[in-house]
Structure 1
Amino acid sequence: MYYHSNYSSPIGQITLAGTDDKLIGLWMKDQKYFGDTLPENSVENNHLALFDKTKKWLDKYFAGNNPEISELPLHPIGNEFRQTVWSVLRQIPYGETITYKQIAQKTAEILEKDSMSCQAVGGAVGHNPISVIIPCHRVVGTNGSLTGFSGGINKKIKLLELEGVDTAQFKVPIKGTAL
């Protein structure tokens, strides 16, 4: 059985999804691909131990601490390529950023390929079903732009600033323009 629950955060409402013991989703309100991997027959459950544990993790995170990702039983649903990209995302240290190109290079290495498309990596990053915890907000454009966050650029900036990242060093795209 699949369950969902809501969490109020400084960046707005967050929806959690999971089974009795595995977290399969964490989406921000109005996030692109919201609930992509959540079965339609999920049941609201605000007392599930998994959600209590996840909410405590989020409380620590939003208080400016660096809780361990390994504290949570993450089980994002996706194909081998996406799983590989998401495993690379989990390795990005708190308060640091990485480029799509660097993720493409690491993913190619893991999958024993000569190279990997940054665009394909961007698609996998954008479809990350466990935002915040699997830190897709730490990914920036090779040209120094804050781009490609399915939760919205403003939320990406807030998350990076929470982690102590100086976001003034990055270019922020103006709606309707490309960097």
Structure 2
Amino acid sequence: MKFDTSIVQTRFQSPLGTIIIAATAKGLAGLWFEGQRHLPPELVEPSVWPSDPDHPVLKEVMQQLTAYFAGQRSRFDVPLDLAHGTAFQQSVWQALLGIPQGGTASYSEVGRRIGKPTAVRAVGAAVGRNPVSIIVPCHRVMGANGALTGYAGGLDRKTALLKLEGVLQEHRS
């Protein structure tokens, strides 16, 4: 992925670990868990993206994430800058935005939504490369049989996010 040269970043401490948030003048361009798969090389220490915790988009994202993790927000309202993905990736990421909190979709269902019903593997690859975790809800994509399949941030985090959103219930013994 080729990111805009104006990108800035900051770190946010969440209940699921440190989150790196990145934005351009156009909007939110990235949200990754520290150490997750597909983390842009520009963020590997030392980061080449300057830190700017006062950037208005980054500040808004941190406020909305705080409310989300407190169970006080179910939707995000921030401008997105997803221009660094391919046209296919962008179509998949837009389809993910249509999965409501409390809902899930299979990879094949996402493929049908973008008019590519046989592109399940390509959809899976695009979901895995989603640069805006949580807000572009790739954690809501499940295997065809409802199985908790891959998540670049780790299956433990995917499970925690789905429990927070009421998709999965806590197991009681």
Q: Give the TM-score taking structure 1 as reference length.
A: 0.84
Aligned to 1:75: 81
Find runs of 4+ consecutive structure 1 residues off by over 6 angstroms. none
SS at match of 1:43: coil
- How many residues get paired? 163
CA distance in 1, matches of 2:42, 2:124: 18
TM-superposed deviation, 1:101:
1.0
Aligned partner letter, 1:57: Q
Aligned to 1:175: none
CA distance in 1, matches of 2:135, 2:119: 24
Aligned to 1:17: 22
SS at match of 2:114: helix
Mapping for residues 18-167 of structure 1, pairs under 5 Å: 18-35=23-40, 41-69=48-76, 71-76=77-82, 77-108=84-115, 115-166=117-168
8 Å contact from structure 2 (residues 159, 168) kept in 1: no
Percent identity over the alignment is 38
**Coordinate RMSD, CA, aligned:** 2.1
Instruction: Name whichever of 29-38 and 8-17 sits farther off.
Output: 29-38
8 Å contact from structure 1 (residues 23, 73) kept in 2: yes
User: What are structure 2's unaligned runs of at least 5 residues?
Assistant: 1-5
User: What are structure 1's unaligned runs of at least 5 residues?
Assistant: 170-179
Deviations along 1:71-129, whole A, 9 cap, x unmatched? 20111220110110000000100111111110011111xxxx5x331111000000000
Q: Give the TM-score taking structure 2 as reference length.
A: 0.87
Deviations along 1:22-81, whole A, 9 cap, x unmatched? 11100001211012687x642111111111101011011111133433x20111220110
Query: Closer, same or farther in 2 for the Cα pair 1:158/1:118, shift >3 Å?
Result: same
Aligned to 1:8: 13
